[in-house]
């Protein structure tokens, strides 16, 4: 667990807490529209462009946060999330294409001899100063120090459960590690002295060694305080090697972009797609897929194998923490899909792809 830094004091704690609440009450800012910009650019930030996108009602969100705070102090989660010993040998074997679930959206993907890491979060709390926010429910099975050198880190957006300052600072010590980040995040990383930044917009492609790395859309939002709502972009990522390709879905609601990504860059041999934090639907529906939609997203992006992410690690929504894989597999069975190709991983589990 990370120690509290010098940056913390009582005043900043309360500022962060009320800031988080205010973000949900006043999420809108009037954005100036500039016609020359791509549709997802607003001039001073970004927005979702799917015709079916509808922002959750601010009052509903506020009421949910308040009732959730009360309920949380009474209810205790007892479900056990399966975990297993981390298989470092397989990850270190550069000739084997492997994928490991570290927990939540943090995954290690060995692809054509390079090691990719997605949304690295090792902190105990996903929130400002690692104090306010969702607490870690299931421990990771490997420390950052035990990992082999990471070549490329893919960041989906700046929410605390995806962009963890302490974790990225640890990885940035390795000067060979490159960070691929959505538009608008370069300044944040550079302010902390992090180098090797590749800031990209939706549908932008970059050649990196023998790979083509594509910043692909997601339907979500961003912000780390009440004052930066949607100022930086959110994204998913497609990694295209010589023979293998994988898709990292980041954090997203169900939207038409999945099909577009599949048509443009599929078929993928592997996809990392969120399945958790989906209830209540009136709050979560516009920004998080539910398990049924995750199955559809897996089909839309045209993938052979899936690692279901964004569940079992931080308690963030109203469904029981072990519910997402149950609902997900029920849908897989209903549709007669290949169970083995989408079987949820244990935390720390590695599979070959």
Point out which residues bind Zn ion (CB under 5 A): 159, 251
- Of the pair 281, 334, the CB lying nearest Zn ion is at 281
Backbone angles phi, psi at 349, to 5 degrees: -75, 140
The distance from CA 312 to its chain's CA centroid, rounded to whole angstroms, is 13
Residue 126 CB partners (closer than 8 Å, separation 6+): 104, 133, 134, 136, 159, 160, 161, 164, 314, 316
> SS3 helix, strand, coil % of the chain, rounded to 5?
25, 20, 50
- Of the pair 160, 171, the CB lying nearest Zn ion is at 160
The distance from CA 148 to its chain's CA centroid, rounded to whole angstroms, is 22
Output the smallest distance, CB 148 to Zn ion, in A: 28
Residue nearest to Zn ion (CB): 159
Give the orientation angle of helix 323-334 with respect to helix 291-300, to 10 degrees. 50
Output the smallest distance, CB 241 to Zn ion, in A: 27
- Of the pair 159, 245, the CB lying nearest Zn ion is at 159
Q: What is the DSSP string of 312-339?
A: SSB--SSS-TTHHHHHHHHHHHHTT--H
Output the smallest distance, CB 40 to Zn ion, in A: 16
Output the smallest distance, CB 288 to Zn ion, in A: 8
- Of the pair 251, 290, the CB lying nearest Zn ion is at 251
The two structure tokens encoding residue 191: 């302010």
- Of the pair 309, 332, the CB lying nearest Zn ion is at 309
- Of the pair 142, 181, the CB lying nearest Zn ion is at 181
- Of the pair 250, 266, the CB lying nearest Zn ion is at 250
Output the smallest distance, CB 92 to Zn ion, in A: 31
Output the smallest distance, CB 121 to Zn ion, in A: 11
d(CA 187, CA 282): 33
- Of the pair 140, 251, the CB lying nearest Zn ion is at 251
Output the smallest distance, CB 220 to Zn ion, in A: 6
- Residue 106: name the closest of 312, 334, 338 by CA: 312
Output the smallest distance, CB 309 to Zn ion, in A: 12
SS3 per-residue string spanning 118-186: ECCCCCCEECHHHCCCEEECCCCCCCHHHCCCCCEEECCCCCCCCCCHHHHHHHHCCCCCEEEEECCCH
Residue 70 CB partners (closer than 8 Å, separation 6+): none
């Amino acid at each position: 667990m990370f120690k509290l830094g010098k940056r913390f004091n009582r005043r900043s704690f309360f500022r962060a807490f009320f800031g988080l609440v205010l973000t949900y009450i006043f999420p809108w800012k009037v954005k100036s529209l500039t016609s020359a910009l791509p549709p997802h650019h607003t001039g001073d930030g970004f927005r979702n462009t799917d015709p079916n996108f509808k922002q959750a009602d601010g009052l509903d969100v506020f009421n949910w946060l308040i009732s959730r705070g009360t309920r949380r102090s009474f209810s205790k989660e007892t479900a056990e999330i399966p975990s297993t010993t981390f298989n470092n040998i397989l990850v270190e074997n550069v000739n084997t294409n492997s994928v490991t679930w570290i927990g939540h959206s943090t995954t290690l993907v060995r692809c054509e001899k390079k090691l990719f890491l997605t949304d690295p979060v090792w902190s105990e709390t996903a929130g400002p100063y690692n104090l306010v926010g969702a607490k870690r429910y299931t421990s990771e099975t490997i420390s950052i120090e035990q990992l082999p050198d990471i070549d490329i880190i893919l960041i989906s957006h700046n929410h605390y459960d995806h962009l963890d300052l302490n974790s990225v600072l640890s990885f940035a010590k390795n000067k060979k590690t490159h960070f691929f980040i959505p538009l608008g995040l370069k300044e944040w990383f550079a302010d902390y002295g992090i180098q090797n930044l590749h800031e990209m917009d939706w549908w932008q492609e970059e050649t990196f060694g023998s790979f083509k790395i594509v910043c692909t859309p997601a339907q979500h939002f961003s912000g780390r305080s009440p004052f930066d709502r949607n100022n930086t972009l959110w994204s998913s990522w497609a990694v295209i090697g010589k023979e293998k390709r994988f898709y990292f879905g980041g954090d997203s609601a169900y939207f038409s972009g999945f099909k577009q990504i599949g048509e443009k860059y599929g078929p993928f041999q592997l996809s990392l797609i969120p399945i958790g934090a989906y209830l209540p639907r009136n709050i979560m529906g516009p920004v998080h897929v539910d398990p049924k939609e995750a199955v559809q997203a897996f089909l839309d992006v045209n993938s052979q194998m899936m690692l279901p992410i964004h569940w079992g690690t931080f308690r963030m929504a109203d469904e029981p923490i072990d519910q997402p894989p149950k609902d997900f597999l029920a849908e897989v069975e209903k549709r007669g899909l290949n169970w083995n190709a989408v079987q949820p991983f244990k935390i720390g589990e590695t599979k070959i792809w």
